[in-house]
A and B are shown apart, each in its own frame.
Chain A
Amino acid sequence: MMIRLAAGIALAAALALDLPVPALATTVTPTSAQVWVAGRQIPFEKLGIAFGDPVAPVNDSGLNAMLDQVAAHLAWQPGTRFVAITRADGELITFTVGSNAVSVNSAATAIPFAPFTQGGQLYLPLLPLARALGLGVRGFHGGYVFVPQILSISSRQDGPRTILHIAGSGVISWHSAYAAQSRARTLTVSFPGFGTDLAADVQRRIGLVARGTIAENGPPGYPTTTLTLALAGKASFVARRGDGGAEMDIVIARDQAALKTATIAATPSAVTRINNVVVSATTLPTATPQVASPTPAVPEPVDTSSPINGVTTAAPVAEPTPSGSPAPSADQRVTAVSVARVPTGMRITLTLSGPVSFSWHRLGDPDDRFWLDLDHAVLVGASRDLDVQLDFIKSAKVSQHLLVPDKVVRLSIAPSRDTDIRVGQVAGTSNQIGIEIETATPAPDTPMAGVGELNAAVVANASPRPMASIQPAATVGDLVVIDPGHGGNDPGSLNPDLGLTEKNLTLEISKIVQNRLQSLGWRVVMTRDGDYEVGDPNGVDKQELQARDDVANAAGATVFVSIHINSSVSTAPNGTTTYYWQPADKAFAQDVQAETVASDGIADVGVKREDFYVIKHAAMPAVLVETAFLSNAHDGTLLQQPAFLDRIAAGIVKGIMDFTGGPHASPTPGPSP
């Protein structure tokens, strides 16, 4: 490492000599913009804007917290020109005062402006730093979101074992699931909070892996990258994290014996921390419920004739699908959730209408959270808190975690200390999963994660109640989501004669709307605040449109407004139109239309109901405003004028105020981006 550091510094010194040094009087304007790294907000002491980009002093606690979040380390001595940052993967990043370049392991990349000193502070530009750290950079929520990336996936065959080596730009945590459909077996490994730029087809056939694909989904601020491995037959696997945490290996073998003898030396550094992903073969004994569920949807069946067995420790590795077990397929319902005392602690029991696959994950100190996901499952009734009556459990909640692309019910438990939580099918039942919270502290080698299947056919005592409607995220009373139409590789409408492009105009108007709303006390989330796709740039348009709805739905916005510029093959049409889809949203559309027309002064085309994707799939009142016609000479000329864009924005804001009555203080803290 010392040699590498010396080389980096030498290169940086050369760069400092060769590259022009900007002789600009640097002004740092303090900003309250938020910085999010890997889904967590990082508070800075002196975050500022210089040359239009965010900067922070090198000794700012926020900068160091940002680096901590991705397991990077900064070394700098006051009075020196070089700042060396070691990434989680050991690569060295070097910034040099006055040099418009950053070097990553001796490879130099130009940056917009050099690190500079002001007021005795050495400021680093955050965007180049984030990119050098391998983070995706996205503007969002009036701030900056840096998203760790899955950077590479490589594979090799080691005797009977197929080993996939995965490298990320931050400490990797993962969530695995196994599905068996007929003869097809799929291992899915998801990386919450990670994005990726890797091509979809990431793995060709090797050993037990027939094919591997990777995809990024979810909101831009907190995406999830999912690696899907089609397996060539039955297989068992373990996953282990490498030294530093930014790498992991997935080891796949035909049987457990091959896994147990696996000796992996693939990672550049020794594997010092190993968390086995364990396929749970646990069977929990039945328990007589002693604490009633807050709102059980149906009476929980209790098989008191079953023997009370001891809780079996999860087996190290097992084939997750017992031979001949039914394969989970259609969505199943979680019909009841109950809590009961058992000798070793408390048990939460989930009763299902049929077979499901599930996976669980437990974090270690200091973040001791646990969650269990039921795939292809729908929660009957609303999300709810559970009273588990244990003083070291801060909260326990069951919720409809995902609806798109798959329905996932999540049980989440937040302990205040490291806690052992065991998962298994309740003995004597075919439709219950038990989650036992142990009162004893866990042993160091307690499994951290697992997957399994509820081994059940469609049960006879499934709830006869009709499926309840799914509750979206709780509405936040002072939050508006603004969606600037199009962006990135989708320019929208064009008027080359006027030099106007829809995606730029929608962003400009949206930013004015954002500022005006914020001045009225609203919090505003923008689906994009730069020229980029909200969803996957290489994805289909459904992902793009759904990604915009995902932002609004996840945030629990009060209202959603998608802003567009209209265009026609004919030059005649002009004016403002507001679209809605849900009949209940007509009043919102009318308010926005009336105020926008009153403000922008162009023709009133009226409100219209159309089956437009973004307003149909938003879970809150939603409208799409086609503000003016780019194809019309009169409207087009006006769209060239900033004052006209401001009038449009002012009208939209008034319409939101008319419909909502203004922001209402939210009882909950602000949403994650």
Chain B
Amino acid sequence: MSSRTRLAVTIALVLSVAGCNHRGAEPPPTNQITVYYSKAGSDTLVAFHYSAAPGLSGAARAQYAVEQLLAGPLDPAADLLTFPPDTRAKVSLKEATAVVDLTGSITKRFSRGAGDEAGLFKSLTYTVTDIPGITAVQIRLNGVVVPSLPGGQLELDEPLSRTTFAQ
């Protein structure tokens, strides 16, 4: 789904949160998903609530949320971290763990710093684990579990959860 298409189905509730707290936010209705973006150079997450098709659940809901995340934030000037534009993801569920299989240039070489790397995977983890029943995210690159991104620092061969990023 492109950003333009997504705009049509987005409800414009943008909320800044620190860490995983939805300070002052009402819980979104069940036909909504929440996509988190990390702010560059900080630990802050910014939450965007999007409408989702009614009845979506489990892997399909996670797939939709990840596609929204990869499409990038609505406000590109907000200094929010985004995955490289050619990144694609296929999401499947293995009990409470979402397996997110990434493809694209990110699987070849990551040439940004550790802060951006941690921020990106923090946003992905928070986005996916916001879906009821999912508590962890196992990253794969081109179908394979790897210890880290090429050139990266974050350990990826174990599932990521929100506690991974707890300070």
Contacts and interface: CB of A to CB of B under 8 A. Distances in A.
Interface stretch (B21-29, B89-97, B151-159): B151-159
Interface in A595-625: 605, 608-614, 616, 624
Contacts of B71: none
A523 to B, nearest CB: 26
B143 interface: no
A494 interface: yes
Contacts of A577: 114-115
B81 A569 contact: yes
A568 B155 contact: no
Given A569-B82, A624-B114, A613 B148 contact: yes
A490 B155 contact: no
Contact of A541 (B81, B112, B148, B164): B148
Contacts of B116: 567-569
Given A540-B146, A624-B114, A624-B153, A572 B109 contact: no
Contacts of B154: 610-613
Q: Which of A546, A570, A608 has the most CB of B within 10 A?
A: A570
A565 interface: yes
Interface in B139-167: 146-155, 157, 160, 164-167
B112 A540 contact: no
Given A567-B111, A569-B112, A629-B113, A492 B151 contact: yes
A192 B138 CA distance: 36
Contact of B115 (A491, A545, A568, A616): A568
B20 to A, nearest CB: 15
B111 A545 contact: no
A573 B40 CA distance: 7
B101 interface: no
A567 B113 contact: yes
Taking residues whose C-beta sits less than 8 angstroms from the other chain, chain A's interface range is: 35 or more
Contacts, number: 104
Which DSSP category, helix, strand, loop or mixed, fits chain B's interface?
loop
Contacts of B165: 610-611
B41 A572 contact: yes
Contacts of A542: 146-148, 157
A612 B115 contact: no
B147 A545 contact: yes
Nearest to B120: A569
Nearest to A603: B41
A630 B111 CA distance: 11
A605 B147 contact: no
A550 to B, nearest CB: 14
A47 to B, nearest CB: 36
B143 to A, nearest CB: 14
B109 A611 contact: no
A490 B113 contact: no
B85 to A, nearest CB: 11
A486 interface: yes
A612 B114 contact: yes
Contacts of A566: 113-115
Contacts of A612: 114, 153-155
B111 A572 contact: no
Interface in A205-247: none
A541 B41 contact: no
Contact of A567 (B112, B149, B153): B112
A81 interface: no
Nearest to A543: B147
Interface in A249-264: none
Given A542-B147, A570-B41, A572-B40, A494 B111 contact: yes
Interface in A518-550: 540-542, 545-546
Interface in A550-605: 564-570, 572-574, 577, 579, 605
Nearest to A629: B113
A568 B112 contact: yes
Contacts of B118: 608, 610
Contacts of B114: 564, 566, 577, 579, 610, 612, 624, 626
B22 to A, nearest CB: 22
Given A542-B148, A577-B115, A612-B114, A572 B153 contact: no
Nearest to A545: B148
Interface in A459-498: 486, 490-494
Interface in B106-129: 109, 111-116, 118
Nearest to A630: B113
A668 B40 CA distance: 47
Q: Which of B40, B41, B115, B147 has the most CB of A within 10 A?
A: B41
B145 to A, nearest CB: 10
Contacts of B147: 540-542, 545-546, 613
Interface in A617-646: 624, 626, 629-631
Nearest to B118: A610
Interface of B: 40-43, 79, 81-82, 109, 111-116, 118, 146-155, 157, 160, 164-167
21 contacts: A490-B150, A493-B112, A540-B146, A541-B146, A541-B150, A567-B111, A568-B81, A568-B113, A570-B79, A572-B41, A572-B79, A579-B114, A608-B118, A608-B167, A610-B154, A613-B148, A613-B154, A614-B153, A624-B114, A624-B153, A626-B114
Interface of A: 486, 490-494, 540-542, 545-546, 564-570, 572-574, 577, 579, 605, 608-614, 616, 624, 626, 629-631
Ranked nearest first, the 7 interchain pairs of A and B with the lowest CB-CB distance are: A573-B41, A542-B147, A570-B40, A566-B113, A567-B113, A612-B153, A613-B155
Given A540-B147, A546-B147, A613-B154, 5 more contacts: A493-B112, A542-B146, A567-B116, A570-B81, A579-B114
